[in-house]
Amino acid sequence: MQVRLIVLTLATTLSAAQSPSVGITAKASTALPRQMSAEEATVRNAYAKLTYASQLGVLVNAVLYDGRRLAAVSGPNATDVGGIERELDDQINFDLRDFRVGNVSAIKDRELFSLVTLPVSDSFKLTNESLNYSIGSQFSTTSTTVSWMSVRWKTGTETVADNKAVVDKFNQKTLGQLLAMIRGEYSRFASFSVHATLHGKSISYDAIFLFPKNPLERDLWPIDLMAGSELVMFIKTPIYPGVFLETAFREHSAVQAWMDAHRLPSCPEKGAHAVCCDPQKGICGIDNDDLQKAMSVPVDPATREVFSKGGAQ
């Protein structure tokens, strides 16, 4: 039976049981559940989603492209399960502390750079990426998608250039002056400290999220100068890993283990293509019932030929 593989779009844009041979675990918080403000929960979910999305990128490169999606970027191939585990563990991870939540009016007279940290030498380059994926046989066609976040350390030249643009625009401006430049009102804030680790290297800094008075008029505004403005659009970007649930790629042992490690017992939003986050545990994933339902839908056996050849090559 002839199988055809069609990769429709690759663009930069704003399992049931764990395999016994794979030891992937989500980096969940071990702290006891506690009362948490809605603002803090939103912040924690945003950074948990970023970790989840960066790990998705590892699976895309290793499983779909056999480690060869980009010529300039090396990575484990589909058979290197141990390498995939290490690469997943080496992605960006956040420890958020020292939350302060309140009304924007209480801090509107403070200069922006007294609330957030301006990068000196190290910061992150975030790139939202997505793939529309289609696998077809003579009997059926499976079309699905996956979005992920590529995260790397910026070069020194990139950081200096970006810092200059930020300083030129916001130096000595108060938060109130900054808000006066835009339409819509922000009423609440959550400021916090971040300890972020990527590829064995860490930085610590301060950031702040601003919450609109009317969410229908304005979006949540994260001001994290280490992550950059890409974080604004990313928060709204769907990251459902359809390609790893709706095709034979879900049978890869590393994919199965990763999905199982990010299985959540209950999500507030259930249904197809839903990924939710648990702010107490600091992880994102798919509702257990939704995951079982997705995994119960059989895949076209013919698509296993693509899976066995290493995916989208």
> pLDDT tens digit string along 174-232?
999 999 988 779 999 999 999 999 999 999 999 999 999 998 888 999 999 999 888 98
Q: Please give the average per-residue pLDDT across 169-178, as a whole number.
A: 91
Rounded distance, CA 288 to CA 307, Å?
25
pLDDT confidence tier of residue 293, bands split at 50, 70 and 90: confident
**Of 168, 171, 206, nearest in space to 189 by CA:** 206
Give yes or no for a contact between 224 and 218, defined as CB atoms under 8 angstroms apart: no
Count of CB atoms situated within 10 Å of the CB of 90 = 15
Tokens encoding 206: 């301060």
Q: Please give the average per-residue pLDDT across 74-85, as a whole number.
A: 90
pLDDT confidence tier of residue 50, bands split at 50, 70 and 90: very high
Q: Please give the average per-residue pLDDT across 85-104, as a whole number.
A: 96
Give yes or no for a contact between 8 and 265, defined as CB atoms under 8 angstroms apart: no
Q: Please give the average per-residue pLDDT across 136-158, as a whole number.
A: 82
Q: What is the pTM of this model?
A: 0.86
Give yes or no for a contact between 272 and 290, defined as CB atoms under 8 angstroms apart: yes
Q: How high is the pLDDT of residue 277?
A: 93
The residue ranges of DSSP E strands in the chain, in sequence order, are 3-12, 93-103, 124-137, 141-153, 186-198, 201-212, 221-223, 263-264, 276-278, 283-287
Residue 205 pairs with which residues in a beta bridge?
194
Q: How high is the pLDDT of residue 75?
A: 85
